[in-house]
């Protein structure tokens, strides 16, 4: 097992009516005036926003609201949030929504803590943050894991660059997680979320540095099996509380670092490749991952065969009897594709609904290489030409 730091300082309030504790939890944090940040309207329609504001009123905590965060959140909204929060003198930020809203909140938090700098510089990786404002969330979709992660992903409106910045400073102070709040999600978003959750653990699982890490592997494999099974249950029973609860908790554990303890941190090529596609075509992150992963998997498999075999057998119940390692690994990838189809996810760009031109594929690969600092990966290190190969496979042109 490699040495590691596990830093998850987020206080989680999980379960039925958890949002009713928002006043108490924010008071504990010393909040007196809160910026309540939300998305395109789902929390207005469901009544959640009004309930949260009511709980804050009851606790005597002041608030100001800023909605309109769109999926693949934009830096322009972040600037708006920084300005509003400064003007209103808030001392805590509360995201009510999903990964996009939480990421926008994290970016506002960086901007408030160091107002003398342009926050986009963090996402361009030209400087690192020295401070971050305190934040928390009431989670409404199980997916990105941003409620406990150290990551945030923001898109530049002008250049359409979608860029991540990871820093423990932005780990939220609190996460309020009521699985019932996810029952209003469209099936497509539930499936995108389950795909993303599984992918956060798969990114960590496929590593060329595979020392003894039986516990981490066991946690990862269990998480993958549970989320897969729950995703299938939720297709039939979207109101199944137990399945919603397992998926919600898995979403946090999949991306707070737990399923990567003792490894080299993982591969993350599929994510980096997807972020470019999300920036250029504004697709849902989970669906973009599903469209890329099988192609990435087949492309890198030979360099990481032991892990692919283990994944196929332990997660996807592939019978290894009488088969070569390659056959077992390929059966595992095929099982993932079958699973994606069964929950309405795409397995290539055409099914994702995009048709990038050759020029666009080249731009995706070029920009991805820049975003990665030249190369990316652990299962296999990819440079720009290899990134282009994977994009071409996903586009059915290789
Ligand atoms: O905007 P509203 O109206 O709220 O609608 C949202 C949005 O359209 C809707 N929704 C959310 N909760 C709902 C609901 N609709 C009905 N009922 C509810 N309870 O779902 C749509 C998607 O929301 P979004 O927040 O975009 O989803 P997700 O949590 O998947 O976040 C995706 C973003 O997170 C980034 C992705 O790249 C993407 O930009 N990621 C962030 C990570 C992190 N910070 O650690 C890691 C991930 O790998 C990922 O890159
Ligand atoms: Zn993700």
Residue-wise pLDDT for 292-326, tens only, equals 999 999 999 999 999 999 999 999 999 999 999 99
Determine which residue's CA is closest to atom 29 belonging to ligand 1: 99
pLDDT tens digits, residue range 137-154?
999 999 999 999 999 999
User: Please, which pLDDT band fits residue 208 given cuts at 50, 70 and 90?
Assistant: confident
- Give the pLDDT confidence of 376-388 residue by residue, as tens digits: 999 999 999 999 9
Average pLDDT over residues 357-369: 98
Ligand 2 center from residue 30 Cα (angstroms): 31
Please state the rounded mean pLDDT for residues 184-202. 98
State the pLDDT at residue 398. Answer: 86
What do you get for the CA distance between the two ends of the chain, in Å?
Answer: 38
Q: Which atom of ligand 1 is found nearest the CA of 43?
A: 4
Domains of the chain and CATH, by start: 11-181 (3.40.50.1970), 185-394 (1.20.1090.10)
Q: What is the pLDDT of residue 311?
A: 97
Tokens found for residue 238 = 């979207």
DSSP 147-199: TT-SEEEEE-TTT--EEEEE-GGG--SEEEE-GGGGGGS-HHHHHHHHHHHHH
pLDDT of residue 210: 62
With a threshold of 0.85, does the pTM exceed it? yes
- What is d(CA 110, CA 98) in angstroms, rounded to the nearest whole number? 19
8 A C-beta contact, residue 43 and residue 96: yes
Average pLDDT over residues 78-91: 98
Confidence at 118, pLDDT banded by 50, 70, 90: very high
Whole-angstrom Cα distance, residue 389 to residue 270? 13
Contacts of 275 (CB under 8 A, 6+ apart): 153, 162, 163, 164, 368, 371
- Does 213 score more than 90 pLDDT? no
Query: What are residue 319's phi and psi, to 5 degrees?
Result: -80, 115
pLDDT at 238 over 90: yes
How big is the CA angle at 197 (ends 312 and 338), to the nearest 5 degrees? 45
Structure tokens at 230: 């729950």
- Residue 175's DSSP bridge partners are 12, 137
Three-state DSSP class for residue 124: coil
The token pair that represents 240 in the structure block:
């199944």
**Mean residue pLDDT across the chain:** 97
- Within 8 A by CB and 6+ apart from 373, the residues are 125
Mean pLDDT of 92-109: 98
Whether 42 lines ligand 1, by a CB cut-off of 6 Å, is yes
282: left (phi over 0), alpha (psi -120 to 50) or beta: left
Task: Kindly tell me if the per-residue pLDDT of 31 is higher than 80.
Answer: yes
pLDDT, average across residues 340-361: 98
Q: Could you tell me the distance, in angstroms and rounded to a whole number, from the CA of residue 262 to the centre of ligand 1?
A: 29
- Would you state the pLDDT for residue 21? 98
* 47-73 per-position pLDDT tens digit: 999 999 999 999 999 999 999 999 999
Question: How far is residue 377's CA from residue 303's CA, in Å, rounded to a whole number?
Answer: 11
How many residues are there in the chain? 398
Cα of 183 from ligand 1 centre, angstroms:
14
pLDDT at site 212: 66
**11-14 sheet: strands from edge to edge:** 11-14, 174-177, 135-139, 92-97, 33-38, 62-66
| pLDDT given at position 209 | 77
Quickly state the pLDDT bin for 245 (edges 50, 70, 90): very high
Of all atoms in ligand 1, which is nearest to the CA of residue 184?
17
What's the mean pLDDT in 111-129?
98
Q: Please choose from 36, 43, 66, 100 the residue to mutate so as to test ligand 1's pocket, defined by most ligand atoms within 8 A of CB.
A: 100
98 CA to centre of ligand 1 in angstroms: 4
Segments in 46-117 forming alpha helices (H): 48-58, 75-88, 99-113
């Amino acid at each position: 097992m490699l040495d590691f730091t596990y830093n998850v300082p987020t206080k989680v309030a999980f379960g039925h009516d958890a949002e009713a504790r928002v006043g108490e939890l924010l008071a504990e944090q010393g909040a007196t005036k809160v910026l309540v940040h939300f998305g395109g309207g789902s929390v207005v329609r469901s009544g959640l926003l009004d309930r949260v504001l009511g709980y804050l009123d009851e606790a005597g905590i002041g608030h100001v609201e800023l909605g309109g965060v769109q999926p693949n959140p934009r830096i322009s909204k972040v600037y708006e949030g920084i300005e509003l929060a400064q003007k209103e003198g808030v001392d805590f930020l509360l995201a009510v929504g999903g990964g996009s809203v939480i990421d926008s909140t994290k970016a506002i938090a960086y901007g408030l803590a160091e107002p003398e700098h342009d926050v986009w510089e963090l996402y361009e990786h030209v400087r690192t943050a020295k401070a971050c404002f305190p934040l928390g969330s009431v989670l409404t979709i199980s997916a990105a894991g941003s409620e406990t992660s150290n990551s945030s992903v923001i898109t530049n409106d002008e250049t359409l660059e979608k860029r991540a910045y990871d820093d423990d400073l932005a780990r939220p102070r609190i996460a309020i997680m009521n699985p019932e709040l996810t029952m209003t999600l469209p099936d497509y978003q539930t499936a995108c979320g389950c795909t993303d959750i599984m992918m956060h653990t798969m990114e960590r699982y496929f590593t060329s540095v595979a020392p003894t890490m039986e516990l981490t592997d066991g946690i990862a494999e269990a998480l993958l099996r549970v989320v897969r099974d729950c995703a299938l249950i939720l297709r039939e029973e979207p109101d199944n509380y137990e399945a919603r609860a397992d998926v919600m908790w898995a979403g946090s554990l999949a991306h707070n670092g737990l399923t990567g303890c003792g490894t080299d941190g993982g591969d993350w090529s599929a994510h980096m490749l997807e972020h470019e596609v999300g920036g250029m075509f504004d697709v849902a992150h989970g669906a973009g991952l599903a469209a890329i992963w099988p192609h990435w998997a087949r492309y890198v498999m030979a360099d990481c065969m032991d892990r692919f075999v283990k994944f196929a057998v332990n997660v996807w119940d592939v019978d290894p009897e009488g088969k070569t390692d390659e056959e077992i690994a390929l059966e595992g990838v095929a099982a993932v594709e079958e699973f994606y189809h069964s929950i309405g996810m795409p397995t290539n760009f055409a099914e994702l609904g995009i048709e990038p031109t050759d020029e666009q594929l080249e731009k995706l690969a070029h920009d991805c290489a820049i975003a990665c600092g030249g190369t990316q990966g652990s299962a296999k290190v990819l440079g720009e030409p290899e990134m282009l190969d994977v994009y071409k496979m996903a586009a059915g042109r290789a």
